[in-house]
Structure 1
Amino acid sequence: MPQILYYLFVYIYILYIYVLYIYILCLVKLCIGMIDAGKAYNTANRQFVNGIQELAQTSAKDVVIETPYTKLTPEFIMARFQQSLSAHLRNGIAVRRDLRKFKEAKKQFDKVSEEKEAALSKNAQAPRNKQHEVEEATSILIATRKCFRHIVLDYVLQVRATVFMPVFQLDQLVMDSTKERKDMEMKHSTIQQKDFSNDDTKLEYNVDAENGIVMEGYLFKRASNAFKTWNRRWFSIQNNQLVYQKKFKDNPTVVVEDLRLCTVKHCEDIERRFCFEVVSPTKSCMMQADSEKLRQAWIKAVQNSIATAFRDKAEDAEMERKSSASSGSLDSGGEVKERSLKGESALQRVMAIGGNSSCCDCGQPEPCWASINLSITLCIQCSGIHRSLGVHFSKVRSLTLDSWEPELLKLMCELGNGVINNIYEARREELGARKPQPGDPRHEVEAYIKAKYVERRFVQRLSEDEIRQKVSALSKQDKPLSGCSDARPSGGPSASASSGDSGEDLEVFCEPKQLTPGLQLYWASFSRSMPDMAEALAHGAEVNWTNTDHDNRTPLIMAVHGGSLASCEFLLQNSASVNQQDNLGRGPLHHATLLGHTGQVCLFLKRGANQNAADVENQTPLSIAVKAANADIVTLLRLAKMNEEMRESEGLYSQSGDETYQDIFQDFSQMASNDPDKLNRY
């Protein structure tokens, strides 16, 4: 055994000597190479110096050229080479050290960025009804934001020191680095004093931005999938569109193609805080900001964008109209001029109503907007404020850009700014409230409009005796009060009922049991008194109020018996249900069919009335019309049925009907609104 160990030791020693010999050979070879390189360098250096000296000799007669060349001695060149080599070695060591610091700073930056995103998500998920979770999430978010800002400062300083400073300026780099470190220390101390409850990036709406982006920033967006997940996206408002990006280089995804068709509102009925919703005719997008300040900024930006989009569109339309008018004068057929007059007819008819020539809320002359459920005209600024109130308070439409249905145009000509202001501003002077003027700040106008329509602060409240007197007077009316041209059976309520309502009596209740604004709306709808209807709604009347003393009929059913198309349209625009039934199972469409009111049947069908509903006698509107031999109503009901079946067969995304269907209904609407006598042929 000892002999084996001895041989093993000898073998290892010999192997070691062999390896050492190999290393020595390599080292000798490197030394030879270094010597050869040195010789080559010395030769090249000598040739270079000789060349300089020869050049100096050829320029001996020129003192300006000779003096610098004579100073380039071999000793001078070697000294400069050694200095340069030493500087590069020091710079190389510094760069390696800075690169190591840069990697560490980047690692810390990435880590804190992830922590900040997690804190933002936790803060967004904190439910509004659990205050302790909200406070905890807010505290974590504030602390994370401060830490993030500190790390960002260090990271930026390290990036500048590593990347942007040239390595051959080491002395200048040291000086600049020292100065920047002092600046960063000042910023670090500022961070400690700053309030980070709102870490806002860009809060101002800039319509004149060079890149076309008037507002941008991070928001949480609720997905439209079944799970309703929330994702953080980069949103921006640009080119009158609302878009977002998942990543910086991704193509923008358009949420809303045209902001003119949208409205924006707060969302307080969900668990998450700071939410708001942008609603368009086809979809809605629920979003969440990081703070209340950010939410208000985004809502204001969307509202301003909507107003700007409308103004730009109106200006373009005006320029196009003027251009068309000038080119139309050269057209012998006059088609352009005719189209222009048709486009202005809605504006001309509405402006002819008393008080409509100036904005209802601020007095701005020549308003081009309207609130269709209030039947008032508005300027561009007030229309934007009305739009922000929500459609349950005001439905805004352009008098020049939008198309107007005959019933809606007829409604706009029934009330007007004067009538509505007499109702909604009855106590304004008594309370000492100042009415806005053109050019007043937007926030003052907005506060006034909210007080006027949302809080109804200036409406004159009615006592029970006053309601009793109004109800008694309205229920005894024997003729229309609003000057409508709609056809109506003469002879009071009982005569109205006898024209096809199976002999039902609309008995007048002089001593009603329910003295409410709803009862005022009920009888005002029958009497076709539009001002009284508007007044009842201003007093808080429920538009779908039912009269328990009168078969649970609604104001809309009474408007049918009153025979007024405009009254029906007014109630529908104020959210009346077109399918609410009375105790006999009859909705407004049943009553309109029984009474032979073709215009109202057409209106209800366009508003989505259910023509398949049957009353207690198992009668549908179609069976009633066939029994009464009313060809017009039978035609309308059958066309609507065919159109509905066509849409069902075409699938979920089919259009609302073919052109023939739309044209026939348009003709009936025009006739019912402008020449109702033609519908009384049968």
Structure 2
Amino acid sequence: MLEMKNTPFLFPFQLVKLCIGMIDAGKAYNTANKQFVNGIRELAQQSTKDEVIEVGNSILFDQAQRSIKCQLQTFVKEDLRKFKEAKKQFDKVSEEKEAALIKNAQAPRNKQHEVEEATNSLIATRKFFRHIVLDYVLQMLSFMYAHLTFFHQGYDLFSELQPLMKLLVGQLDQLVVDGAKEKRDMEQKHSTIQQKDFSNDDTKLEYNVDADNGIAMEGYLFKRASNAFKTWNRRWFSIQNNQLVYQKKFKDNPTVVVEDLRLCTVKHCEDIERRFCFEVVSPTKSCMMQADSEKLRQAWIKAVQNSIATAFRDDAEKLEKRRSTSTGSLDSGGEPKEKTLKGESALQRVLAIGGNTTCCDCGQPDPRWASINLGITLCIQCSGIHRSLGVHFSKVRSLTLDTWEPELLKLMCELGNGVINHIYEARREELGARKPHPGDPRHEIEAYIRAKYVERRFVRRPSDEELKMKVVNLSTRVKRLSNGNSEILSPRPPQPNPKARPKSAAPKPTASLCKEMVVFCEPKEYSPGLQLFWASCSCSLPDMAEALAHGAEVNWINTEDDKRTPLIMAVHGGSLVTCEFLLQNGANVNQMDTNGRGPLHHATILGHTGQVCLFLKRGANQNAADIDDQTPLTIAVEAANADIVTLLRLAKMNEEMREAEGPYNPSGDETYQDIFQDFTQMASHDPEKLNRFQTYDSQKQ
């Protein structure tokens, strides 16, 4: 019994004793091994010329090399080969998944069986792809394990690396444990993949305007080519630096689709065969794209809208900062601040006109573009269509990004969408034509706009009696205005200058030259050109727009009235906006009448400084002389109009500077531009300040 009780206690002591002996033997082995290696090294150094020693040394190193080489060959031929095969299979399945994505995107919405087939194929491919991904990761871990095993076996050859070997053994053991755990996790994920629904396996996209790399959003989209075949290509798109760009490959330079997102709008597209499509529209082009799902389409549309809003907010902050800096010293006075507010209210002033809060052609709310020769507001898509018509039909300008001259703002306020649609859509309902809506396809809106402005299909042509009544009413209005206010057509006559050289056959410009116009004679024929003629003098922009819509030639010549043009009549009407409207619609600023006088001559005779400034900016020939050999400058000097003389001399000096400096200064002197800008502002906001005739006698006194 005593032996049985004491027997279990003998084994631990024996095991400890054996362990101590093993450790001592190991130490002795390591010591002997080190001494042996050092002895060989010393012997090799002392007997470098001994052939026997060299042969023995070679044999020893050959054995060591074989030990390492054998393990290395096993590593390369087996472990590395398995890893390469796993990678090859992963790449193959990745291509199959890409093909399934493309097939799913190409499935037409009206063929349900093809949609279901493509969807099922995509789901099966995704599941198989996930299996391969897990196997690929597991093989990679096995590769790493084999790699560590190889080095472990290599380090076994060097006993002096025992501390490191212990560390590696610990890491290897931990790796084995982790590998077993990862394997169990992979098996669990495999079973989860079998049960998971991959019909909505979408990539998560988030818009981040403050991203470090400047890319607010990026991801794959299908893009429809602009060629005749309209092919679809899968590209990597990104929103960066307020631009929409894409890359064919990762290392390719980005291709810019939209230069400035502020000029764009984005909308859904449901009128094409493909699903999940949306369109980014700019004034010059449109880009059709397709996402992989409805969720991704909404994410991209929201990202583009956020980019547009962010760009406008940044511009507004910069503009406000610039204005506060430039006007900080003037805030104490009321006048500079008032002028700044006038400049800021350009958009509000235009949108305040009836009908201007929606697009003139499709009804899209909150328009940000305008046609300055028609006087209407447009959405971004319709503005792009108007640009494609050509500037002889429509001149497009941004209400938020471009600079607006005062006369252009007044022109927009004189007309508006309501007035123009009343003219250009007069017969639309009668003809049964449907007006487009904001969500309609682009080609339908473009066809409507061409029919409206190019073909003028919906314009109501007046009868001969209606046209006659219109012309008589306009001429009567001109006579009533001229009789009620003599300054409209009969300015104060310029006084003769005693220092000027007398001309025997050169009558001075007098008020009689203007009073002759109010005599209305029965014309031989009533035409839209005659309506434009009298409407220009009566300063009625709606009647002028109606005459142009009826086919009136903007440079129509009245052969029964000294070959005067509508622009010359607009000068006598005294309206700067009327002249601007005719010039925007292609009026010739150098068209002469029978007496050789152009619009600049008449504006100088009448003392209309604002019109003189306008004509000079539009390239009027100030050196042209009439039949009395008088140029606008000589007329202004004789009339002692200091403002017009200053403008004409400045224009002459600027022209000479431009010719002298050639292509290096095509715009001329900046001071000249500033002075003309000041005169334009004064002519629009404070015209009474320019109505001052300085005669020679008053100067003498």
TM-score by length of 1: 0.54
Q: Quick one: which of 547, 551, 556 aligns to 2:562?
A: 551
**8 Å contact from structure 2 (residues 451, 457) kept in 1:** yes
Residue 313 to residue 394, structure 1, CA distance change in 2 (3 Å) = farther
Checking the alignment, whether the CA contact within 8 Å between 2:261 and 2:307 is kept in structure 1 is no
Which residue type is aligned with residue 675 of structure 2? I
Q: Distance in 2 between matches of 1:480 and 1:376?
A: 31
| Residue matched to 2:312 | 318
What letter matches 2:641 in structure 1?
A: N
Shift of the 479–398 alpha-carbon distance from structure 1 to 2, 3 Å rule, reads farther
Corresponding residue to 1:656 among 648, 662, 667:
667
Who is 1:509 aligned against? 520
* Distance of 1:490 and 1:405 partners within structure 2: 28
Provide the C-alpha distance between the structure 2 equivalents of 1:199 and 1:378, rounded to a whole number of angstroms.
28
- Looking at structure 1, the residues matched to 529 and 446 of structure 2 have their Cα atoms a distance apart, in angstroms, of 29
CA distance in 2 between counterparts of 1:330 and 1:491 reads: 45
Gaps of 5+ in 1: 1-46, 56-64, 70-197, 217-234, 242-256, 262-298, 482-486
Partner of 1:612: 623
Q: CA deviation at 1:412?
A: 1.2
1:252-263 equivalent positions in 2, closer than 5 A: none
Relative distance call for 1:208 and 1:469 in structure 2 (3 A) is: farther
After superposition, what is the alpha-carbon deviation per residue over 1:438-467, rounded to whole angstroms, capped at 9, x for unaligned? 222212211111111111111000111111
Q: Give runs of aligned pairs for residues 147-158 of structure 1, distance below 5 A.
A: none
Matches within 5 A, 1:90-239: 209=237, 238=256
1:679 to 1:340, Cα distance in 2 relative to 1, 3 A = closer
Say which SS state the counterpart of residue 563 (structure 2) adopts: coil
Q: Which residue of 1 aligns with 2:584?
A: 573
Measure the CA separation in 1 of the matches of 2:392 and 2:307: 25
1:592 to 603, 616, 637: 603
> What is the CA deviation profile of residues 37-80 of structure 1, one whole-angstrom value per residue up to 9, with x for unaligned ones?
xxxxxxxxxx9xxx9xx99xxxxxxxxx9xxx9xxxxxxxxxxx
Q: Provide the residue aligned with 1:304 in structure 2.
A: 286
**1:479·1:527 contact (CA, 8 Å) conserved in 2?**
no
Mapped pair 1:603 → 2:614: yes
| Counterpart check, 1:622 vs 2:606 | no
Q: Is the 8 A contact 1:480 1:527 kept in 2?
A: no
SS in 2 for 1:477: helix
Per the alignment, residue 344 of structure 1 pairs with 344
Separation in structure 2 between the aligned mates of residue 358 and residue 623 of structure 1, nearest angstrom = 50
Residues in 2 aligned to 1:449 and 1:588: alpha-carbon distance in whole angstroms:
34
Letter aligned with residue 318 of structure 1: F
Q: Secondary structure at the match of 1:377?
A: strand
Could you say what secondary structure the match of 1:506 adopts?
A: helix
Distance in 1, matches of 2:347 and 2:671, equals 28
Tell me, in whole angstroms, the C-alpha distance in 2 between the residues paired with 1:554 and 1:620.
Answer: 19
Q: Match for 1:404: what amino acid?
A: W
**SS of residue paired to 2:377:** strand
SS of match in other structure, 2:467: helix
- Change in Cα spacing, 1:388 to 1:314, as seen in structure 2 (3 Å) is farther
- 2-side partners of 1:207 and 1:594: how far apart? 65
Does the 8 A contact of 1:496 with 1:562 survive in 2?
A: no
Between the aligned partners of 2:414 and 2:305, the Cα distance in structure 1 is 27
Residue aligning to 2:384:
384
* Residues 237-264 of structure 1: CA deviation (Å, up to 9, x unaligned): 62646xxxxxxxxxxxxxxx99989xxx
Q: What is the Cα-based RMSD across aligned positions, in Å?
A: 4.6
State the partner residue of 1:102. none
Cα deviation, residue 209, structure 1? 3.9
The whole-number CA distance in structure 1 between the counterparts of 2:283 and 2:364 is 23
Residue 370 of structure 1 aligns to a residue whose secondary structure is: strand
> Match for residue 409 of structure 1?
409
**Partners of 2:396 and 2:306 in 1: CA distance:** 17
1:490 aligns with 2:501: no
3-state DSSP class of the match of 2:512?
coil
Residues 595 and 302 from structure 1, CA distance in 2 versus in 1: closer, same or farther, beyond 3 angstroms? closer
Residue type of the alignment partner of 2:393? F
Deviations 1:482-504 (A, max 9, x none): xxxxx999249864697855622
The offset of 1:585, in angstroms, is: 0.9
Shift of 1:478: 3.7
Could you tell me how far apart the structure 2 residues matched to 1:488 and 1:315 are?
54
**Conserved in 2, the CA contact under 8 Å of 1:578 and 1:609?**
yes
Question: Cα distance 1:313–1:679, how it changes in 2: closer, same or farther (>3 A)?
Answer: farther
C-alpha separation in 2, matches of 1:344 and 1:208: 40
Seen in structure 2, the aligned counterparts of structure 1 residues 210 and 427 have a Cα distance that, compared at 3 Å, is: same
Which residue type is aligned with residue 608 of structure 2?
H
State which of 532, 546, 560 in structure 2 corresponds to 1:521: 532
| Partner SS state of residue 449, structure 1 | helix
Contact 1:599 1:668 in 2 (8 A): yes
**Structure 1 residues 300-345: Cα deviation after superposition (integer angstroms, max 9, x where no partner):** 9952279x9x999964552214545998999995999979856532
Instruction: Give the aligned residue type for 2:452.
Output: K
What is the CA deviation profile of residues 222-278 of structure 1, one whole-angstrom value per residue up to 9, with x for unaligned ones?
Answer: xxxxxxxxxxxxx9962646xxxxxxxxxxxxxxx99989xxxxxxxxxxxxxxxxx
Contact kept, 8 Å, 1:543 with 1:571, in 2: the verdict is yes
Offset from partner CA, 1:164-192 (integer Å, 9 cap, x none): xxxxxxxxxxxxxxxxxxxxxxxxxxxxx
Q: Could you say if the C-alpha distance between residues 467 and 661 of structure 1 is closer, same or farther in structure 2, counting changes exceeding 3 Å?
A: same
Task: Give the total of aligned pairs.
Answer: 421
C-alpha spacing 1:576/1:493, structure 2 compared with 1 (3 Å) = same
- Match of residue 455 from structure 1: 455
Contact 1:593 1:601 in 2 (8 A): yes
Q: Do the aligned partners of residues 322 and 671 (structure 1) sit closer, same or farther apart at CA in structure 2, a change above 3 Å counting?
A: closer
Equivalence for 1:248 = none
Is the CA contact (8 Å cut-off) linking 1:205 and 1:214 kept in structure 2? no
Q: In the alignment, residue 403 of structure 1 is paired with which amino acid?
A: T
Percent of pairs identical after alignment? 64
* Aligned-partner Cα distance in 1 for 2:419–2:401: 25
Tell me which moved more, 365-374 or 505-514.
Answer: 505-514
The answer to whether the 8 A contact 1:488-1:563 is kept is no
Instruction: Name the SS for the 1:397 alignment partner.
Output: strand
3-state DSSP class of the match of 2:370?
strand
